Chains A and B, each alone.
Chain A
Amino acid sequence: MVLFEVFINGIILGGMYGLIALGLNLQYGVARILNLSYGEFFVSGAFTAFFTIMLWQYNPLLSLFVSLPIAFAVNWLIYQYLMIPLIRRAPDQDALDADVVLVTFGLFFVFQGLALVYWSGDLRGYTFLSTPVNFLGATIATNRLLAFLGACVIAGLLFLVLRHTRLGAALRAITIDPVAAGLVGIDVRRYSALAFAAGGALAAASGMLVSTFISFSATTGVAYTLKALIVVIMAGVGRVTGTLAAGILLGVVEALGGYLIDPALTIAINFGLFMLILLLRPTGLFTRA
């Protein structure tokens, strides 16, 4: 029975990882920017929720009204003023990746540095809706279920937008071929900026949801950036359903691995799965080529 509980927790965790990865997928798949500072926005969402409940005693969900717009705006500015000059001068995607990686690595240091200065490196956590619920025979905390529900809702909305709106069609066109998309009249820069900003907002939203049941600190951003990167690579860039599935796979493997081997080795388990994928199917689990 314990194994089943571990498994369910893995799925819930995986749903979170899928959500986190969806944001990165928007940034890398549409805007073609590999953002190594991504996890820092996750952390910002977590800290905003933390202060909302601990300092002002409000429901942490309300923090989204603050963290989402800020994350959106900051990411939009980053794209407009830092990324576009790089895109203009790069001869191809590989050269762009190299420049982008360097700049976002620098941003990662800036943001993490700011977080350490203002919020210190202490581990933070809070209790919110931690009452256990019986779910299919397993005992799960309400906050985990809520987080998973939140992830499903957000992912579902994203899916609907991508499939059934003009905006979504434009985003998908840009993901497949930005040059061709431009040629059919899509304002690639504007939509890419939008996607990049939305990705950042998704990171903050995930941070808020995860903060309800996992402790965090100013330095845990890296681990989540890594998880998002691994999931995106596993799923193949640009697929929503694939990203969720890959996220759940990561979550389940991590939960089971943590239970069977050791919970302190999460990153090692993530990397183990990552290496396996690199060796077997580097183009992604769900790509057809």
Chain B
Amino acid sequence: MAAGNGVLLSVRELRKAFGGLVAVRDVSFDVPEGRIFGLIGPNGSGKTTVLNLITAELSPDSGSVLFDGNEMVGRQSFEVCRARIARTFQLVRVLPYMTTRENVMLGRMFGSSPTAPAQAARDADALLERVGMAGRADLVAAQLTYIDQKRIELARALATHPKLLLLDEWLAGLNPSELRIGIDLIRQICRGGVTIVMIEHVMEAIRALCDRVVVMNAGEKIAEGAPGAVLSDPEVMHAYLGADDAAA
């Protein structure tokens, strides 16, 4: 039941200020269903704040977020999750004293299609296999490496059965082979029917995965379009201060 023209998420004139600092200034963009959408920009440009506004971690000063035709502003985080929007966090957040399996089960038990613990455990195991954590379901999350924690955070997000998945720099800190595996995984997830919005600094991933990209700088949207076009836009390069990433 999309908004008609294949647009799943519609962000309109979103605005958020903290005291005197305007973190997000009248940002608008549409995310088409079934695609991977990129959100890039230098550090501090407000990208994570936009994500926080969508998932109701923060409430906007003005603007609206339409998901599947429904207004999300004014709802609480758990309602946004049950409406089938999931996310990962920039600094990974796992439940440290629960096992890997239990971390993923959480998404299953309370997400959009609540399940009893026994079934949730089985589903969690399947998801863990998908993200490459098979056989490690009983380890306590605090003992995992950072990358493994990212994987179970992704599995937990997937466990909530999302239609829209928001990834906040999920590919950061990966070596080249891990990066390739990660990119493949994200592509697979999208092919499985999940629309993805990814905040990223890894331009290789943006070029490989995204059909469309929005660039933010200092809280404002400064460019939108296909990755190739956007990344060669002089204003975008200027925003990144001529970073080698953009030229590469």
Contacts and interface: CB of A to CB of B under 8 A. Distances in A.
Interface of A: 288-289
Q: Is the interface of A mostly helix, strand, loop or mixed?
A: loop
B239 to A, nearest CB: 25
Interface string B5-25: 000000000000011000000
Nearest to A287: B19
Nearest to B18: A289
B96 to A, nearest CB: 8
Give me the 3 closest cross-chain CB pairs, A-B, nearest first.
A288-B19, A289-B19, A289-B18
Contacts of A288: 19
Nearest to B20: A288
Contacts of B19: 288-289
Interface residues of B, number: 2
Contacts of A289: 18-19
Interface of B: 18-19
A10 B113 CA distance: 57
A66 B244 CA distance: 66
A289 B19 CA distance: 6
A288 B18 CA distance: 9
A274 to B, nearest CB: 25
Nearest to B96: A91
A72 B144 CA distance: 44
Nearest to B17: A289
Nearest to A288: B19
B248 to A, nearest CB: 32
A288 B19 CA distance: 7
A245 to B, nearest CB: 20
3 contacts: A288-B19, A289-B18, A289-B19
Contacts of B18: 289
A249 to B, nearest CB: 24
A289 B17 CA distance: 9
A288 B21 CA distance: 12
A137 to B, nearest CB: 43
A94 B18 CA distance: 22
Nearest to B19: A288
A288 B20 CA distance: 10
A27 to B, nearest CB: 25
A283 to B, nearest CB: 12
A242 B19 CA distance: 18
A99 to B, nearest CB: 16
Nearest to A289: B19
A284 to B, nearest CB: 14
A128 to B, nearest CB: 47
B174 to A, nearest CB: 25
A145 to B, nearest CB: 39
A91 to B, nearest CB: 8
A177 to B, nearest CB: 14
A289 B18 CA distance: 7
A137 B18 CA distance: 47
A64 B107 CA distance: 59
B238 to A, nearest CB: 29
A98 to B, nearest CB: 14
B98 to A, nearest CB: 15
B110 to A, nearest CB: 21
A279 to B, nearest CB: 18
B69 to A, nearest CB: 32
A66 to B, nearest CB: 44
A164 to B, nearest CB: 24
